Chains A and B, each alone.
Chain A
Amino acid sequence: MSTPIASFVVLSGILFAIGTAGVLVRRNALVIFMSVELQLNAVNLALVAFSRMHNELDGQILAFFSMVVAAAEVVVGLAIIVSVYRRRRTADVDAVSELRW
């Protein structure tokens, strides 16, 4: 492969940045969650790229584990969003701001 590894890493950074912006800007809880998934995937990409660079499989293993954990996290997070929605009839994160002064 002749593509420099740096390209993958920079791409991963860009995707991560987009995910961060998504977390900050969007109000829908589900879309925020999806942005977080985007961030996780960006990191996976970086892991695999470095794994290839070092001629080891550890990065791929880590990416694998990351996926598993992401799956578990999505399950629990969505369950929370659903129960909050049942209470408040809204998925807007700005609306659930009772824990305040």
Chain B
Amino acid sequence: MIDLVWLVPALPLAGAVVTLFAGKRLGKTAGWLASALVACAFVVATGVLLDLVALPAEDRTRVVHLFDWIRVRIFAANVDLLVDPLSVTMILVVTGVGTLIHVYAIGYMEGDPRFGRFFAYLNLFVSFMLLLVLADNYLLLYVGWEGVGLCSYLLIGFWFERPAAASAAKKAFVTTRIGDTAMLVGIALIFVRFGTLDFGSVLHGAGPVLAPVIPEGTATAISLLLLAGAIGKSAQVPLHVWLPDAMEGPTPVSALIHAATMVTAGVYLVVRSHVLFEASEVALVVVLIVGLVTALYAGISAIGQDDIKRVLAYSTISQVGFMFFAAGMKAYAAAIFLLVTHAFYKALMFLSAGAVMHGLADEADLKRMGGLRRAMPVTATAFSIGALALAGVPPFAGFFSKDQIVAEASRSQGVGVWALALVAAFLSALYIARLVFLAFAGERRSATEPHESPPVMIVPLGLLAVGAALSGAALGLTVDGGLARFLEPVVGAVLGAPGGLSEAALAIVSVVLALSAVAFAWIVWGSGKVDWLALRAGPWNSLQRFMNRGMYVDDAYAAVVEKPGKAAGRGLRTFDERVLDGAVNGLGALVRSLAAAGRRIQTGVVRSYAAAFLLGAVAILVYVGVRL
């Protein structure tokens, strides 16, 4: 089955082509077809997994050569797919969560005039994402990278008649472009240094084997450039500004692309290239700082958001920041673990949010929700499970994954870093509890009568809830549990540094933190005893706005980049109109005025003409006479 791994990206690609051309005729069947193809890809992926675990642990790396692609004199790249524990983990997550989201979207997008095209784009996205994680060389990875960026643009701007959506799509594309360009430079640098882009040659195996092969400066440069690409694609600070706006897209899009899969591509890149990062002295530190800063920043901003999807967007930014944080501490397995569990519970919460909005006639403002637990009990339950997972309450998934990262921080980093990690964990519990209480608890504040969503949307929610609930326990209770051991051939053995608090103590600290955050949120937003609306309008207004506007980062970009850019554009346009066009037009005007003055000689009076030429004749005669 490993040899058939090419089916995994090919099936959704075929689905994209079919639905693109026959979407109108297929109607609703397009949705089922697309979902079925992704489900088949999931089945194939499972088969690949089974084949892989049948192999001995040290030997679990296979390269499936599909065809020769580029062969120029000094450069060769082929379409090869790499099957190893990391890539198999990723494709299972992508196809698994992807299938559930496809099914959900059949209900969510019902009645949309471009129904077929939506599924074409979704399938295309899944195909590119799978290509990204299965690629065996950096060039093919970049193809997938760009492909998911394209599909993200198409899907964010799916309802392009809305100017906000079109603008958000453009913003996403341009912002990630900045990272992508740096990444391309990094890839070029890899080629310059290694002469090839194949993972096998560049990364050969786990562990710091690379140190003597390339100088440290080059490794730092390559790592930081690749990191720039990862920052853009994964919406980390400072290139995070596109993700909150990307919520303009349909909710299934937000769930699939901006929670479970595309934004994790950056984490995958860092983990895959960890050998390069370790060869540099500063690269991993930068990764750590980026992750931690982002986690804190997004956590704070999430508290001030009123739009249900924007809370989840900032939450995603924060959680991916946690993943980077983990990678920066060389806890790659923990990062991947969080990636997997986050895919479940974030997709779950996004789809539930979509169900909420669907039931409230597309209302997304938390201030106008409330008391929904009575009207949509299933949705409320599902969302709460996801929220508990995010908050890190045992036995749900988030407890295991996030806890591991914090524990690692306590072990290998200083106290300050550990404390900040704890603050970030506290914040994540706080904002999600706020969201749950504002939406589902209390009394109803909405104008419309809410209702539960159809089964085609509910069933995927249920399945994801199960995953969110159980995946943590299933994949590894401890830091060197199941997933970590599975990934060992790729990311190396976990360095369990001694010292710090014991496992149990750390666990208790995490749980206490999470529960106290939930309690605080209940008091302020859930119980009804605190008039939080008045507090926001009154003494806490500037703090509220500070959080709501994402600490004004977007506004800063607008002032520093956008305004001067637009002014420069206007200046150039004025220059073009006045100076360049003015010169050309001025030349024409000059000729015209000269001609207008010159033509007055043609008076039409014959006698003047006669006088003129007789004058000339006499003058010539005088000249000749004088010469003689």
Contacts and interface: CB of A to CB of B under 8 A. Distances in A.
Touching in the complex, A and B, CB below 8 A?
Answer: yes
Interface of A: 20, 23-24, 27, 93-94, 96-101
B605 interface: yes
B508 interface: no
A97 B605 CA distance: 5
B618 to A, nearest CB: 9
Closest 7 CB pairs between A and B?
A100-B604, A97-B604, A101-B599, A101-B602, A97-B605, A100-B602, A93-B606
B604 A23 contact: no
Interface residues on B, range: 10 to 19
Contacts of B604: 96-100
17 contacts: A23-B607, A23-B614, A24-B607, A24-B610, A24-B611, A24-B614, A93-B605, A93-B606, A94-B605, A96-B606, A98-B604, A99-B604, A100-B602, A100-B604, A100-B605, A101-B599, A101-B601
B610 A99 contact: no
B607 A99 contact: no
Contact of A94 (B599, B600, B602, B607): B607
Contacts of A23: 607, 610, 614
B246 to A, nearest CB: 67
Interface of B: 599-607, 610-611, 614
Contacts of B606: 93, 96-97
Given A24-B607, A27-B607, A93-B607, A99 B614 contact: no
A99 B611 contact: no
Given A99-B604, A101-B601, 17 more contacts: A20-B614, A23-B607, A23-B614, A24-B607, A24-B610, A27-B607, A93-B605, A96-B604, A97-B603, A97-B605, A97-B606, A99-B602, A100-B602, A100-B605, A101-B599, A101-B600, A101-B603
A99 B606 CA distance: 10
Contacts of B601: 101
Contacts of A100: 602-605
Contacts of B611: 24
Describe A's contact surface by its main secondary structure: loop
Contacts of B614: 20, 23-24
Most buried by A among B603, B606, B614: B606
B54 to A, nearest CB: 99
Contacts of B610: 23-24
Contacts of B602: 99-101
- Find the residue from B600, B601, B605, B611 having the highest chain A CB count within 10 A: B605
A98 B603 CA distance: 8
Nearest to A101: B599
B628 to A, nearest CB: 16
Nearest to A21: B614
A42 to B, nearest CB: 15
A16 to B, nearest CB: 11
A101 B597 CA distance: 10
B213 to A, nearest CB: 85
B319 to A, nearest CB: 81
Contacts of B605: 93-94, 97, 100
A93 B606 CA distance: 7
Nearest to B614: A20
Nearest to B603: A100
A16 B601 CA distance: 27
A100 B602 CA distance: 5
Nearest to B599: A101
B619 to A, nearest CB: 14
B46 to A, nearest CB: 91
A98 B606 CA distance: 11
B382 to A, nearest CB: 88
Contacts of A24: 607, 610-611, 614
Nearest to B606: A93
A99 B604 CA distance: 5
B51 to A, nearest CB: 94
Nearest to B618: A20
B625 to A, nearest CB: 13
A19 to B, nearest CB: 11
Contacts of A27: 607
A18 to B, nearest CB: 13
Most chain B beta-carbon neighbours within 10 Å: one of A24, A94, A96, A101: A101
Nearest to A25: B607
Contacts of B603: 97, 100-101
B559 to A, nearest CB: 58
A34 B373 CA distance: 118
B236 to A, nearest CB: 73
Nearest to B596: A101
B105 to A, nearest CB: 75
A6 B602 CA distance: 41
A79 to B, nearest CB: 18
Nearest to A93: B606
A27 B614 CA distance: 17
B612 to A, nearest CB: 10
